[in-house]
Structure 1
């Protein structure tokens, strides 16, 4: 049976590219207009997995998605890092001199700021989606408009790339989480996403972090989010990596003594940036 994977955005987007990188291309991607819609489809059993962006090396954490992780409590079964490469694309036969308008998602436009400043002849317009801008150029046969989007979008919508790698920062990565309704047993897991609360006492968070450090557990990310309706109370979300499973197990036992509402959101195999 073909796996169904919910993605935010449309086909040809970075979310679809991340899905293909993790699962391979023999999957069916299901387009969703919002991250909440992806969660609803998984909850209803209409898809097998969600691919959800959680942080970008330039833009930072996607905080609303932490709220979705808290509300839906789907297990995290994997992660994938995607190197964000942005290209200028247009209809076949259209040249750079023909272009008057450039359209893309606001963040993508921001990430290509140097290129756009070097080409002030382009009138920049914001779209809802990188791949959506490419699809619009293709479907409406816009010969005076170029889109900034992933290579997958050019392939999917029959566009030609006029300028490659126009993003300002060439080391831009987005991290995506893979969510399911059930935890998956995997050999040699070496990364986990955890959430917990601590008391308000002096050094309470420091005590927890010290437990990880003393067991040789590498803390790769920490994110705090206010607890709804409770003043000065926070949920902490941390990602940890380890080389020795026994060290991780010992760290968890110690951390449990200093936290409340502790949850292992997922244990999975670390994905490398390539």
Structure 2
């Protein structure tokens, strides 16, 4: 039995990403009896259960094409014995949902996840009477609206969420940016990196000495090894005010030398080095 966890309720984008992972990577159906799917209210207990061997995989959003790095999820994997082995890009097609019979001009409160609300600014510019209400999750917002039955309340959620909870689409394209996507990674407990696939995409979390040029030295090493830098995000180090660690994503497909040699040099130049992800690029 494989146990897989995601955050949210049926209709959440995380559920859609989980369905895609099961179909594309495991080549199983979502209701396969060999699978046990667990939904979580929040991300920290999901990571804890993965570390404690209560689930085998967890599906987490880590980046959005509009708003960038999702720091609250990425920060959770720092210092933990987990690694991402798969990625999935989930289209984010926000719909403004209301109760059956509602009119968009009646709506005064719109519930959704804070990041979803920020991705629908043009909607709120068109309807200034709508007040944004940050809520737990997009799909949970749709569920809440259905239970309330109040035509003055609406939710921003996925097409599947509105259909599941019997809502009416008040604005089928509530998003600002067509082609908006959220990137998900599927994490498992850490094991030895597969040396046979050393050209897969790599993501590190690195902390450097607090001295001039420390980060520049790391980046110079990647340049010498002809490793293409795909992403660089700074995050505050816990309990060390104004000190920062870095999530570095890199493509070593044209790398000169081998991964072990590169890792040794990076470790020598850092105070902490963690492999956060190692997976084939699918885009």
TM-score, normalised via structure 2 length: 0.82
Q: Structure 2: how far apart are the matches of 1:57 and 1:90?
A: 26
Aligned partner of 2:247 in structure 1 is 237
Q: How far did residue 21 of structure 1 move? A: 2.1
Aligned partner of 2:275 in structure 1 is 264
Q: How far did residue 176 of structure 1 move? A: 1.9
Q: How far did residue 122 of structure 1 move? A: 4.0
Q: Structure 2: how far apart are the matches of 1:197 and 1:240?
A: 16
Change (3 A) 1:245 1:19: farther
Q: How many residues align?
A: 271
8 Å contact kept, 1:16–1:29 = no
RMSD in angstroms over aligned alpha carbons? Answer: 2.8
Q: Structure 2: how far apart are the matches of 1:69 and 1:112?
A: 29
Aligned partner of 1:146 in structure 2 is 154
Among 188, 212, 221, the residue aligned to 1:202:
212
Q: Structure 2: how far apart are the matches of 1:229 and 1:105?
A: 28
Q: Structure 2: how far apart are the matches of 1:186 and 1:158?
A: 49
8 Å contact kept, 1:217–1:248 = no
Aligned partner of 2:232 in structure 1 is 222
Q: Structure 2: how far apart are the matches of 1:214 and 1:244?
A: 11
Query: Could you list the per-position Cα deviations for residues 136-161 of structure 1 after superposition, in whole angstroms to 9, with x for gaps in the alignment?
Result: 22234334433210112123223343
133-142 vs 215-224, which moves further: 133-142
Structure 2 residue matching 1:193: 3-state secondary structure = strand
Q: Structure 2: how far apart are the matches of 1:13 and 1:56?
A: 15
Q: How far did residue 95 of structure 1 move? A: 4.8
Residue 10 in structure 1 maps to residue 9 in structure 2: yes
Aligned partner of 1:132 in structure 2 is 140
Q: How far did residue 179 of structure 1 move? A: 1.0
8 Å contact kept, 1:215–1:247 = yes
Residue 191 in structure 1 maps to residue 190 in structure 2: no
Q: Structure 2: how far apart are the matches of 1:82 and 1:187?
A: 28
Consecutive unaligned residues in structure 1, runs of 5 or more: none
Matches within 5 A, 1:65-76: 65-76=73-84
Change (3 A) 1:71 1:174: same
Q: How far did residue 191 of structure 1 move? A: 0.4
Change (3 A) 1:84 1:248: farther
13-22 vs 64-73, which moves further: 64-73
Q: How far did residue 212 of structure 1 move? A: 0.9
Change (3 A) 1:245 1:217: closer
Q: Structure 1: how far apart are the matches of 2:196 and 2:170?
A: 44
Q: How far did residue 195 of structure 1 move? A: 2.3
Change (3 A) 1:128 1:212: same
Aligned partner of 1:255 in structure 2 is 266
Change (3 A) 1:243 1:182: same
Change (3 A) 1:138 1:47: same
Q: Structure 2: how far apart are the matches of 1:271 and 1:88?
A: 31
Q: Structure 2: how far apart are the matches of 1:226 and 1:97?
A: 43
Query: Could you list the per-position Cα deviations for residues 158-204 of structure 1 after superposition, in whole angstroms to 9, with x for gaps in the alignment?
Result: 33433222111224332222111243759645201112232334322
Change (3 A) 1:135 1:5: same
Aligned partner of 1:54 in structure 2 is 62
Structure 1 residue matching 2:189: 3-state secondary structure = coil
TM-score, normalised via structure 1 length: 0.84
